[in-house]
Structure 1
Amino acid sequence: MTKKRSKLIIRVVLLVGTIVSLFFVPWLLVKAWILPLPDTIQAQMDEAIDHGFEGMIVYVDQAGQPPQYFASGWHDREAKIPAKPDALFKIASISKLYDAVAVTKLVSDGRLSLDKTIADYLPEVSGRIENADKITLRLMIQHRSGIPNFTDAPDFWASPTATYEESLALILDKPANFEPGEDYEYCNTNYLLLNKIMDNELGYGNFQFIQEEILIPLNLNNTFSSVSEVKIEDVMSGYHVGHPFDLKEDDHGMLATAEDVGTFLRALNDGTVFEPGEQEIYSSIYEYEHGGWVPGYQSFAGYHEDLDAVVIAFYSTTDPKLYNWNLSEIINSRIAKILRKQKSSG
């Protein structure tokens, strides 16, 4: 076979592969990416609703400007209540930022050590969590423990666990996914254990500590640990593709307004949430922005250093294949582009 013919065959194979791969790419994602960029955030959000999201909230805190509040779509689709920028929303794994700050404060106070292990703090799980004597708090915070993720259990979201014990039971006696510190894998079990360790050290629920050390000092009066603490009508409805019912009454942890999350994220990034010496500890263990997902609710807390802008984006529709997650990330990037365009022209 000649080199020319060989190269032609390779090109044909690559072309066929590209065509096949494009066939499996949701065209909605391509459309969302290539559409002309709107001039305003509100127009971009309205476009996102046209893409299939039931509701959306955005909060922007940009240095030198007053905060901006946006909403589009439905707060409650069935009741035909329009989206509200001050609605409560399930922030899911964004709560890990609050947990990491709480651990930081306890480490700074000498009450916890980043270098002590699960076995040191929870001896009852030794022998039931592989490498419990090697997995430190630092590794758990950084998702480098190798512990299996309890929310990856088959059909977990069809019937979620309600207690620490039920959640932990899903991973006990399971083999590690990798040796501690040798890889990275996002794992909710890490924070399940960290919360238990904090509870034990404090002698009370760690959310009370978060309230006292984070929420109250920052005047965050619209951040809660559970839907049981709020008026359900204040919670934005959440919808999951293929599921017929509103999911707002399901309890999946912390809720907050976009403004409260934005205020916290600003304090996290400018350091005002910390006492002297704490930010150095935090910077060595965790990140300064986060996303969150539970059925019906996607949340993003981002900081754009070039704009000195905090952007919080809430989307009230999820789907089994996470296409809406990818779509959300495209919308988020376009919102940032709009802010940069506005800044350059303003």
Structure 2
Amino acid sequence: MKKSTQKTSKGKQLFRIVLLVGTVISIWFVPWIIVKAWIVPLPDTVQEQVDQTLTYGFDGVIVYVDQAGKPPAFYTAGYHNREQQLPAKPDALFKIASISKLYTAVSITKLVGDKQLSLDETLADYFPELVGRIENAETITLKMMVQHRSGIPNFTDNPAYWEDEQTNSKTALDFALDLPASFEPDEGYEYSNTNYLLLREIIKKVTGHSHEQFIKERILIPLELHNTFFSLNEVNLDDVMSGYYVGYDEDFKGNEYGMIATAEDVAIFLRALNDGSVFDAGEQEIYPYEYNHGGLVPGHQSMAEYHKDIDAVVIQFMNTTDFEGYQYNLLEITHNRVVKILRKATNQSL
């Protein structure tokens, strides 16, 4: 019995050593700047956190907080334009990238509510010419596409697309054609920009107008979002926050990447999505997608979240990105720290 106890004790000790070594190894391969962002003491205020965020290699940061019972608050640090040494502007326009998927998902929902399409219809129902070009087109439903459960390959994962993405974006679908499916429809999950490219084309086919026009008429105008746009051609480029990529001196803000908005406009939309006021009667029950989202394109990354426990919308824009994705990890960490500060302040006031 004693030997068995000793053996068990040694086994536990060995397990602890293995666990410790594994932890040390995992930490060793995590960039120390990310570890620092995790463990540094939490500041008392959001502005202190935004200032601290700037020390992680970002050129500019904008945080917008809309918390119930309090006036909206803007926090900024760093540069709107690094070359001109212009300080970050709270009302700057920013490329919101994949946050735009929320607007597309709401649009699909509204069309379902209008009985103009069904989430159970298939890709082949709208684009029979894609049968044989996109695997399983006959069984991939619109709902699967909205939820990234279609198995359609992501065109931005194709290295050839990035050889000249500004030109290739005009024929982006070509980079996903004739590739094997990532999985059988509804049998997995894989984030795919191809899904939303096709959904936007379906909106156009159903309405006879561009998806931009539909979003403007059914979302932007009703919510009075006057600072949300679909192209750099619609805005003064000086109003757009510059975008930088680690290792390059180039300002990426002149590259076209879709929707552009102020943090305040994104916050108004996100609250309307989460409280249901963006929907007409019966639509919210249909809505099949996320209620929060992030965005990432070269030079611009963003996060838009609603936190029910403190009834707060938090929008964060950061104008520096990198190849490894460490900067996006830092966006997630610093965004969570802003929420912790808000949560702590809310609990203390109760």
Q: TM-score, normalised by structure 1?
A: 0.96
Match for residue 60 of structure 1?
65
Can you list the C-alpha shifts for 1:77-129, whole angstroms capped at 9, x where unaligned? 00000000000000000000000000111111111111110100011111110
Alpha-carbon distance change, 74 to 158 in structure 1, aligned in 2, over 3 angstroms: farther
State whether residues 166 and 256 of structure 2, in contact with CA within 8 Å, keep that contact through their aligned partners in structure 1: no
Alpha-carbon distance change, 164 to 318 in structure 1, aligned in 2, over 3 angstroms: closer
Q: Matched residues in 1 for 2:17 and 2:343: separation?
A: 41
Q: Matched residues in 2 for 1:21 and 1:108: separation?
A: 49
Q: Matched residues in 2 for 1:309 and 1:162: separation?
A: 39
Kindly report which structure 2 residues correspond to 1:78-89, keeping only aligned pairs within 5 A, or say none.
78-89=83-94
State the AA in 2 paired with 1:153.
N
* Cα offset, 1:253, TM superposition: 0.4
Among 313, 318, 321, which residue is 2:316 paired with? Answer: 313
Q: Is 2:338 aligned against 1:326?
A: no
Kindly report which structure 2 residues correspond to 1:149-168, keeping only aligned pairs within 5 A, or say none.
149-154=154-159, 156-160=161-165, 162=167, 166-168=171-173
State the AA in 2 paired with 1:336.
V
Q: Is 2:143 aligned against 1:138?
A: yes
Q: Is 2:211 aligned against 1:244?
A: no
Match for residue 301 of structure 1?
304
Q: Matched residues in 2 for 1:16 and 1:150: separation?
A: 39
Q: Matched residues in 1 for 2:141 and 2:135: separation?
A: 13
Among 271, 284, 288, which residue is 2:291 paired with? Answer: 288
Can you list the C-alpha shifts for 1:209-268, whole angstroms capped at 9, x where unaligned? 100110011110000001111110000001111122010000000000000000000111
Describe the SS at the equivalent of 2:76. strand
* Cα offset, 1:287, TM superposition: 1.2
Match for residue 200 of structure 2?
195
Match for residue 75 of structure 1?
80
* Cα offset, 1:161, TM superposition: 5.1
Describe the SS at the equivalent of 1:287. coil
* Cα offset, 1:198, TM superposition: 0.8
State whether residues 108 and 278 of structure 1, in contact with CA within 8 Å, keep that contact through their aligned partners in structure 2: yes
Among 97, 103, 107, which residue is 1:98 paired with? Answer: 103
* Cα offset, 1:162, TM superposition: 4.2
State whether residues 161 and 175 of structure 2, in contact with CA within 8 Å, keep that contact through their aligned partners in structure 1: no
Kindly report which structure 2 residues correspond to 1:32-51, keeping only aligned pairs within 5 A, or say none.
32-51=37-56
Aligned residues: CA RMSD: 1.6
Q: Where in structure 1 are there 5+ consecutive unaligned residues?
A: none
* Cα offset, 1:345, TM superposition: 2.5
Q: Matched residues in 1 for 2:67 and 2:9: separation?
A: 56
Q: Matched residues in 2 for 1:117 and 1:26: separation?
A: 44
Q: Matched residues in 1 for 2:169 and 2:26: separation?
A: 42
| Aligned sequence identity (%) | 60
State whether residues 166 and 255 of structure 2, in contact with CA within 8 Å, keep that contact through their aligned partners in structure 1: no
Can you list the C-alpha shifts for 1:38-91, whole angstroms capped at 9, x where unaligned? 111111000000111110111111111111111111000000000000000000
State the AA in 1 paired with 2:78.
G
Q: Matched residues in 1 for 2:193 and 2:142: separation?
A: 14
State the AA in 2 paired with 1:291.
G
State whether residues 161 and 172 of structure 2, in contact with CA within 8 Å, keep that contact through their aligned partners in structure 1: no
Match for residue 338 of structure 2?
335
Q: Matched residues in 1 for 2:124 and 2:27: separation?
A: 49
Q: Matched residues in 2 for 1:265 and 1:175: separation?
A: 35
Q: TM-score, normalised by structure 2?
A: 0.95
Alpha-carbon distance change, 137 to 339 in structure 1, aligned in 2, over 3 angstroms: same
Among 173, 182, 192, which residue is 2:178 paired with? Answer: 173
Aligned pair count reads 344
State whether residues 164 and 192 of structure 1, in contact with CA within 8 Å, keep that contact through their aligned partners in structure 2: no
State the AA in 2 paired with 1:280.
E
State the AA in 1 paired with 2:99.
I
State the AA in 1 paired with 2:333.
I
Q: Is 2:129 aligned against 1:124?
A: yes
State whether residues 157 and 295 of structure 1, in contact with CA within 8 Å, keep that contact through their aligned partners in structure 2: no
* Cα offset, 1:165, TM superposition: 5.9
